[in-house]
Structures are given as structure tokens and as C-alpha cells.
Structure 1
Amino acid sequence: MSAHATPHAEFPLGPFTPYPQNPILRPQGDTWESASVYNPAAVVKDDKVVLLYRAHADDIVSHVGLATSEDGIHFDRHPDPVLSPSEDYDEFGCEDPRVTEVDGTYYMTYSGWDRKSALLCLATSTDLYTWTKHGPMFPDFNTFLPQGNGQDAPWSKAGGILPEPIDGRYLMYFGEGSIWYAWSDDLIHWTPCSNDEPVMVPTPPGTFGEFLVEVGPQPILTNNGLVLLVHNAAVKNDDGTVRYTCGQLLFDPADPATILAQMNRPWLEPTTHEDTHGLVSNVTFVEGLVYFRDTWFAYYGQSDSTLGVATYKVGDRYSKLGAS
């Protein structure tokens, strides 16, 4: 396994503070990003933060847009989408990207939507603007097992690739509903674990992930070499609405199927007007996480409508020793 862990990462990562002037990106114009801008991946390139975000007009056919920032807060947008529907499997949306960079190549996982199945797909790029699609990754998988999602069609979403190899192979966590893992020798072809053996299933009744759990951004290695996975979690209310918050998991790289530790309360949850009002209300959904200029930036969708950020300055504490 690589010894290159992230020196400023430990479990739990945080505390994160939402930026007071959120949202940092809103819908604009009258075309492909006119109705909603949300659920971004994030990477650092050329000393800038780059967001690859989901956006759509009123038709809810999603594209992936790109924006860059010198400070992680204020972004300049590229005028056109960098990834758009073009194939049968993503005809009605390229949704919810996650991006990992390995040796100068960017690997984007995204959900292809054909209005029947959501399928986890892969695309690659060397410049973040031009992408090559490699198609669905697990076309027969159903990540809503064992609890089911009311349909027989395959379903897979949310792939987060660890950028550091483990004993020569690459690890990815994926899944909406429950969480699973897969291995790859080349970052293109992936072999999942058994569909009968999820790593994490929804949490017990009364907890913040009792309806579903879903992979967030790409996992990272902590300062002692353990794998940190940020995840999203949801509860379903009696009226059928949902509430999405965020948790964290910790794994031993030698045993990526066994959770060593997990947060039992959210580190990010809906609080502001944008978090609680939107296309799907009461959602904070994290998909982007970068370490940039001594600060961790977590980028998230607010109620499937706008895009926010929360920050953790390394050295900040959840509580101060000796405080009354």
C-alpha cells in the first residue's frame, strides 16, 4: 500500500462550518443551468479549486458544468457543459459526478439516467473539459438491495475512487441505498463485491440514515493510513418527504469491507433557507471534498437547487478543553 496519506486528515474530519453567504452558485441564464445547480465534485488543479457540478433547466435533464476558483469560495463558470447526455444509458441525464485524479488523468463517476434505471458510469479526461465516456460500470447491480427500491430494473449510483492504490489495486466505494466496494487494476475495469454483501446498510430506526446511505466524495487516506469515507444519509418522513444529512466512516485498507468507526450524528445537515427549500427540500448532499490552502472544503447541493460549501480550518476543534 502507498505510504502517501493525507497529513491533515483524521477521523472525524471537522468541525465544518457552512459558509455564511451560501449559496456560492445559483442557477443562471435560460438554458442548461437555468433551474438547478447542485451536487458538485471538486478537485484542485493548478492551485485552483475546480468544481464539476450538476445542472439542469426545468426539463430536469442534467449536464455537468465546470467552475474554477482562486479561493475555494468565489467561482468563475465555464459557459458550456463539459459532459452532456449522448448515449442511450444517459439520454435523460448525466447526474451527480465524483472525480478522482490519478497520475494526471481524471476519473469521473456519474449517474446515467434513462428514466428507468440509474446506472453508475465512468468518464475520463486529462484536462477536465473534454471527457471520454466508458459506459455503465455495473449494469446488472442493484445497490438498493437488500431493502429494495420498488423496481426490478438495475440501479447503481455514487462511485468514490480512492486515489492511492492498495497493494497495486484501486478501491472504489459505491452505492445509493446501501454501500458496496469494487477493485480495479487499471481504473477503467472494475470488479464489485457480491451484490449480497454490502459494506453498509441503512442505519437503525430513529437514526439519521435509516432510509438510505449513499457514498459522498472520493475516499481519502487519513494521517495514519486509514480510509475515510464521507457519506450521505437520509430518513423518510411520514408524508413521503426525505431529509438528507452527512456522516463519516473509517476503514482499514487491508479490510475495506469492515467499518472500524462511524459517526452517530450528522456533521452537516439542513439549516438554512436554501437547505430546507428547493426542488427536493431538506437536503445537504456532499459530493466534493478538497484540501486547499490549509483548509478542507466540502461542497454540497442544497435541496437539489443551489450549491453551498462548508469549511474546516485544520486546527479547529469540536470543543475546547477546559471550556465550561
Structure 2
Amino acid sequence: MMRRNTENPLVFPRDVKPSNPSYQVLGTFNPGAVKYKNEIILLMRVAENCLAQDDYVTIPYFNNGKADLIRLKKDNPDLLIKDTRGYFYKGKDYLSTISHLRIARSNDGVHFTVDEQPFIYPDLPCECFGVEDARIVKLDDTYYINYTAVSGDGYVTMLAKTTDFVHLKKIGIIFPPLNKDVAFFPEKINNKYAAIHRPDNKGFGLPSIWYATSPDMVSWGEHYCLLRPDGSPSESQKIGGGSSPIKTDKGWLVLYHAKGENSVYSLKLLLLALDEPQKILKKANVPVFVPETDYEKKGFFPNVVFTNGMIEKENGELWIYYGACDETICLAITSVSDLLKLLN
């Protein structure tokens, strides 16, 4: 039901200019996606770290909006290298890379030109470990962007807005720690804004998908646990929302990610009631998209397909932009009607 674009991957780390002369780009992935005028815009996560140094680990972070680093010997007894994504040093977690959000633009949705400068850059205390994984929704004439901000206090969900993808206003934190994977519904439901989100319920259960409403996009309440991991091999660790739900005559179609056995990330489907999105109508019990190609199975963090950006085309196709292995940006093409068939 989903076919990979033959030119995948579409964007590589080598296609992106580092934001700092002392940094190197390791990953360009997990883009939010939107149609703007005659272009498709990807607001992609760019992960960087410091240039390699023999026998040393360099941990990047932002200090008052400026790039900084911690430099440690690899054999430092206070340093624990957890995996390719992070370190633990003197009782604190750090990331091995630091991310910002940058725009890539395309007329055909396949061949992209990457802006030279970041669009959303970490300049707040809650962003000092970077900003990640943007989602975009258009409401009236405004494009609302939510993204994950990371710091020593954990991760939060930030809200920003733009009307032209040149000027940006950061509004602030809308979901406090630990919460991410927020996706706004593209219209009000029962006169309220609505979203799915993913609190990290440490201590009990597994990270699950929740539903919430808001009168103003800032203050969120009426929280309801919508879906918990089902314990299957594909959902043994956690689940989280993807891009904005798609309105169909059958219900709200949700494409979400699941992390399962051996840390494999796959994509799965959910259908919610139109007027009561807290009500699940149908759920696909098996993944609809899994890592299969080399670029999805071998990379910075292997066996990952992850989407937070989709485009509905005029011809009925659904273009799903996804990150592969936390390293590159790829495209899978299907249609809403085909995805609904998988829920029959």
C-alpha cells in the first residue's frame, strides 16, 4: 500500500551546511511538511555534533543561545556512553548530537534546496540541548508549528507560528515535561482545538497516545489516554503520534509510530470518530510500514522509519515524508483510500 520513492533518500546530511564551523552534520530527518504557495516545505531536524577528536568525547549544547561543548576523555570514569544517541556524565543525561530546525524547499516534492541558516534555533533555557521533530498545521492564515525542546529538565513541547516561513514567533511551552509527539487536528472539534500528545509515564505503564483540547492552542486540558501499546512485537516499548490526523468520511485517520522488539520503529494506523476523537473506531494490528531497505535498516540509529509530516496531493495521493535511521529524509507514497482499506 506504500511505495518508496525511487530517489530515496531525498536529503542527506552532506546536503546541509553546518550551523557552526566547529560542528558537523550527522543527520537530516523527521521533517514536518506543508504546502506553501507553490512549494512543498519540509521543516527538518538537523542533528550536529562537534568535529571528531581522538580519544575524546565532545558533548554539544547551547549556552544562552550560543553553541558550546563539554570535552572529556573517553576513559573518564564519570562518563557513560549509553548508545549513539546519548551520554551520562556526573549524574546528568546529555545528547551526543544537538538539533535545530531548518527549511528545505521543493517545487516537485522530491528535489529539495536546503536553506543555509536555521529556521528555529535553540535560544531559550528549555532548548539548550536542542529542538527537534516539528509538526506543522495551517489554521486560517497561520501556520502553527509545535516542536520538542530538550534541556537538562527533560523534553517539553513548544509552540511557534509563522505566516510566511521567513518570520517566526515563539509562543512558549504548551505541554510540560515529559511530553512530545504532539499533533494538532487541522480544524476545531466541538468549538475547541484538539491534539494528540505523548506524555512519558515513567514508573507505570508505557508511553502512550493521549488526547487533549484547548480554547486557544496554549492552555490544554480534558486529557484522555487514547491508546496504550498493545504488547505486540511492534509495540512492546512505546507509541506516539505522527503528523496531523487526516479527516475522512470514515473518521480521523492517524498514522502513528511504534517502537517494538529490538528497538525497531514502524508505522501503524488508527481511525477515530469524527465528533468524538476520544473514541477509537478501528486499529490496524500490524504495521503498515516497516524498515526494509538498507537506508532504513543501517544508519546512525538503525531500523527506524518515523514520520511527522504528510502532504495530501490534488490527485488523491498521500505523500509521507519520513526519517530513516535518524539520518536521512525519505518519501513513501500511498493514498487515504488505500490506507482506509487496511482498516476494513
TM-score, structure 2 as length reference: 0.77
Would you say 1:233 and 2:258 are equivalent positions? Answer: yes
Seen in structure 2, the aligned counterparts of structure 1 residues 259 and 273 have a Cα distance that, compared at 3 Å, is same
- Quick check: 1:202 aligned with 2:188? no
CA distance in 1, matches of 2:221, 2:2: 34
Given that 1:180 and 1:192 are in contact with CA atoms closer than 8 Å, whether structure 2 keeps it comes out as no
Match of 2:73 in 1: none
Aligned letter for 1:169? Answer: K
Aligned to 1:23: 9
Q: 1:77 to 1:293 in 2, by over 3 A?
A: farther
1:31 alignment partner AA: P
Letter in 2 for 1:52: L
Matched with 2:79 is: none
Q: Which of 166, 169, 182 is the aligned partner of 2:192? A: 169
Contact in 2 for aligned 1:44/1:292 (Cα 8 Å): no
Distance in 2 of aligned mates of 1:186 and 1:308: 34
Q: Are 1:41 and 2:32 matched, yes or no?
A: yes
| TM-score in terms of structure 1 length | 0.82
Runs of 4+ in 1 over 6 A off after TM superposition: 314-319
How do residues 175-324 of structure 1 correspond to structure 2 at under 5 angstroms?
175=198, 177-193=207-223, 197-204=224-231, 206-224=232-250, 226-237=251-262, 242-294=263-315, 295-312=317-334
CA distance in 2, matches of 1:95, 1:301: 12
SS in structure 2 opposite 1:25? Answer: coil
**Where does residue 3 of structure 1 map in the other structure?**
none
In 1, Cα distance between equivalents of 2:337 and 2:148: 36
Please give the secondary structure, in 2, of the residue aligned with 1:309.
strand
Secondary structure of 1:157's aligned partner: strand
Displacement of 1:162: 0.8
Amino acid at match of 2:190: D
Q: Distance in 1 between matches of 2:137 and 2:220?
A: 15
Query: Is the contact made by 2:267 and 2:306 (CA closer than 8 Å) also made in structure 1?
Result: yes
Q: State the number of aligned residues.
A: 282
Per-residue deviation, 1:121: 1.2
Q: CA deviation at 1:77?
A: 1.4
Deviation at 1:91, TM superposition (A): 1.1
Equivalent residue letter for 1:137: I
Percent identical residues: 29
In 2, are the aligned partners of 1:30 and 1:57 still within 8 Å (CA)?
no
Contact 2:126 2:153 in 1 (8 A): no
Aligned counterpart, 2:124 = 87
Aligned residue for 1:130, secondary structure, equals coil
Report if aligned partners of 1:109, 1:158 keep a CA contact under 8 Å in 2.
no
User: Cα distance 1:102–1:273, how it changes in 2: closer, same or farther (>3 A)?
Assistant: same
Structure 2 residue identity aligned to 1:56: A
Q: Which digits, 9 at most, give the CA deviation of each residue in 1:84-120, with x for residues without a partner? A: 1011111111101001011111111111000440111
CA RMSD of aligned residues (A): 2.0
Greater share of strand: 2
Unpaired segments ≥5 residues, structure 1: 1-14, 140-153, 320-324
Please tell me whether the aligned partners of residues 107 and 122 of structure 1 are also in contact (alpha carbons under 8 angstroms).
yes
Superposed displacement of residue 192, structure 1: 4.8
Contact 1:98–1:159 (Cα < 8 Å) also in 2: yes
What amino acid sits opposite 2:217 in the alignment?
Answer: L
Structure with bigger gyration radius: 2
Aligned-residue offset at 1:258: 2.1
Aligned amino acid, residue 100 of structure 1: V
For structure 2, the residue ranges without an aligned partner over 5 or more in a row are 50-59, 61-96, 200-206
